[in-house]
Amino acid sequence: MQFKLVNAGHNNMVAMDKVVAIVSPNSAPAKRLKDEAKAAGRLVDMTQGKPTRSLIITSAHHLILSDVKVETLAARFNAAAVRPLEDGDIITIMDES
């Protein structure tokens, strides 16, 4: 099995195939998602104290906070299949199981 990881900021990686959506944190529904994920223990903060610029929703119902803009993350995800490793954005891991 092969996993493609994308840099979600500060060299924190997210598995591409587990991401359902990347959304802006500014709307009321996004704020509710954040509050619900925090209460349920499903919130992962990758901002390292910086302002949250995007929310990454995973297929496992985890919510990841990132300080990278939605547009930048989208570009990293879109480019993952067509460009070589650049600035640590994409890493491929082979799972032997």
What is the rounded average pLDDT of the residues 50-64?
A: 97
Is residue 36's pLDDT more than 60? yes
| Number of separate domains in the chain | 1
Supply the range of the domain harboring residue 30: 2-94
Q: Note the pLDDT of residue 3.
A: 78
**pLDDT bucket at 80, cuts 50 / 70 / 90:** low
Tokens representing 52?
């949250």
- What pTM, to 2 d.p., does this model score? 0.80
What is the rounded average pLDDT of the residues 49-63?
A: 97
